[in-house]
C-alpha cells in the first residue's frame, strides 16, 4: 500500500545565481542524512543536485527547484527542476559527457542521469526544461512514480492553502485535492482537515469521501474538494467533487473534463454525485486547484504525455500556475 501526501520537508528554491547552488546542495545533503543514506550515496546526490542547479544558473532565464522527501517514503528523495530557459530540441546529445554549450566540461546532464534512479527530462525549444530525479537509499524499496502532487503558496506566504493525498493499493489509486477558501493558515487548516478525513477511510467511494469532508469542514472556512478513483483492471475513473477543483482525463486525442457540482465544501454543497468514465490506454488523470488556469493543452508539448507524472505535473505548475493564488496540481497514471 502506498499512501501519498505532502511532505513537511517540501522546499522550493529560486535558482538565480551561484549562491543558490550551495543552498540546494546543503538541503539535499540534509534530506539524505535524515533518510538514512550512506555517505557515498549522499555525496552522489550532492553532485547531481549541484549539476542541476548549475544548469539553471547557466542556461535558464528563470529557474526553480523543489527538494523533498518523497511523500510516500522517507527513503526516497525527490528533486524537480523547472526552468523557462531556451530549452533543447535533443536531450540525448547534451546528456553525453563532453557535450557543452557553455564552454564547460559538459558533464551535468550525464552525471544526473547516471546518479539518479530514475531521472526524467522533458525539454522543448522556447519553453524550457523540466527535470525529475529520484534517489532511493540502498536496500530500500523504490517509491512509486505513478502519481505526483505539487503545490506552492501564493506570493510570500509560508503555507499553502491547497493540499492533496493519494492512496495506491496496486489495484486502484484514490486521490483527493482540496483548495481551502482564500489562502494562508486558515485555508491550510481546511485543506489539512480534508486530507485527514480522506486518510481515515480512503477505501470509501469518492462521493462518500466528499460527503464526509463536507461535514468535517463545517468547523473551518471550507473550500473546494474533489476525489478521484482510478481502477486499473476496469480501466475506469470515478470522480466526485464540489467547487472549482478541475479534473481531466488526458490522452493522445485530447482531454475530457470531469464533473464537479457547484458549492463550498463545509458550507454549501447539495446533490453530491459521482460519475464514472472510461480510462483510455496510456491516459493520465490530472487534477488541479484554480491556482492553475484551465487553458493548458498537453498537445502543445510534444512527447510530454509519455513522460513521468512528475515531469507532467512540473510542466503544468511551471507554465499554468496563476501567481495571485495558491496552486496545486496532481497527475496520476494507471500503469
3-state secondary structure of 82: strand
Residue that is written with C-alpha cell 461535514 in the block? 215
Put residue 333 in one of left, alpha, beta given phi > 0 → left and psi -120 to 50 → alpha.
beta
Alpha-carbon Rg of the chain, whole angstroms? Answer: 19
**CA-to-CA separations, 229 to 10, 60, 209, in angstroms, rounded:** 25, 37, 11
Contact status, residue 237 vs residue 276, Cβ threshold 8 Å: yes
Phi, psi torsion values for 63, nearest 5 degrees: -140, 145
Put residue 32 in one of left, alpha, beta given phi > 0 → left and psi -120 to 50 → alpha.
alpha
Per-residue model confidence as pLDDT tens digits over 64-105? 999 999 888 889 999 999 998 878 776 654 555 544 444 333
Contact status, residue 107 vs residue 116, Cβ threshold 8 Å: no
Report pLDDT for 271: 86
Which residues, including other chains, have CB under 8 Å from residue 288's CB and lie 6 or more apart?
177, 245, 246, 316, 327, 328, 329, 330
Residue 95 DSSP code: T
Per-residue model confidence as pLDDT tens digits over 195-245? 999 999 999 999 999 999 999 999 999 999 999 999 999 999 999 999 999
pTM equals 0.91
Beta strands 223-231 and 172-180, pairing class: antiparallel
Q: Which residue segments constitute the domains of the chain, with CATH numbers given?
A: 7-136 (3.30.565.10), 147-333 (3.60.40.10)
Whether 41 shows a pLDDT value over 80: the answer reads yes
Cell of 173: 489509486
What's the per-residue H, E or C state across 145-158?
A: CCEEEEEECCCCCC
3-state secondary structure of 265: strand
Amino acid at each position: 500500500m502506498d499512501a501519498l501526501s505532502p511532505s513537511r520537508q517540501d522546499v522550493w528554491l529560486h535558482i538565480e545565481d551561484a549562491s543558490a547552488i550551495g543552498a540546494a546542495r546543503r538541503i539535499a545533503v540534509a534530506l539524505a542524512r535524515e533518510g538514512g543514506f550512506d555517505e557515498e550515496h549522499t555525496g552522489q546526490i550532492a553532485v547531481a543536485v549541484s549539476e542541476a542547479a548549475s544548469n539553471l544558473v547557466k542556461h535558464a532565464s528563470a529557474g526553480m527547484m523543489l527538494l523533498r522527501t518523497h511523500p510516500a517514503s522517507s527513503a526516497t528523495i525527490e528533486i524537480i527542476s523547472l526552468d523557462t530557459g531556451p530549452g533543447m530540441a535533443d536531450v540525448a546529445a547534451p546528456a553525453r559527457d563532453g557535450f557543452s554549450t557553455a564552454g564547460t566540461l559538459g558533464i551535468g546532464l550525464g552525471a544526473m542521469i547516471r546518479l539518479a534512479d530514475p531521472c526524467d527530462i522533458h525539454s522543448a525549444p522556447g519553453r524550457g526544461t523540466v527535470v525529475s530525479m529520484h534517489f532511493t537509499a540502498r536496500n530500500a524499496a523504490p517509491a512509486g512514480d505513478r502519481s505526483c502532487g505539487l503545490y506552492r503558496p501564493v506570493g510570500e506566504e509560508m503555507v499553502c492553502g491547497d493540499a492533496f493525498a493519494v492512496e495506491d493499493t496496486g489495484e486502484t489509486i484514490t486521490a483527493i485535492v482540496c483548495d481551502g477558501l482564500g489562502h494562508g493558515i486558515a485555508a491550510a487548516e481546511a485543506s489539512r482537515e480534508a486530507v485527514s478525513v480522506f486518510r481515515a477511510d480512503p477505501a470509501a467511494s469518492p462521493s462518500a469521501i466528499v460527503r464526509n469532508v463536507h461535514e468535517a469542514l463545517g468547523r473551518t472556512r471550507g473550500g473546494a474538494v474533489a476525489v478521484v478513483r482510478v481502477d486499473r483492471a476496469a480501466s475506469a475513473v470515478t470522480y466526485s467533487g464540489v467547487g472549482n477543483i478541475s479534473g481531466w482525463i488526458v490522452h493522445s486525442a485530447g482531454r475530457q473534463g470531469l464533473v464537479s457540482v457547484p458549492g463550498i465544501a463545509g458550507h454549501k454543497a447539495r446533490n453530491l454525485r459521482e460519475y464514472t468514465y472510461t480510462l483510455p490506454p496510456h491516459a493520465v488523470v490530472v487534477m488541479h486547484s484554480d491556482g492553475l488556469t484551465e487553458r493548458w493543452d498537453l498537445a502543445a508539448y510534444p512527447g510530454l504525455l509519455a513522460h513521468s507524472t512528475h515531469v507532467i505535473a512540473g510542466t503544468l505548475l511551471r507554465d499554468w500556475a496563476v501567481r495571485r493564488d495558491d496552486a496545486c496540481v496532481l497527475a496520476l497514471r494507471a500503469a
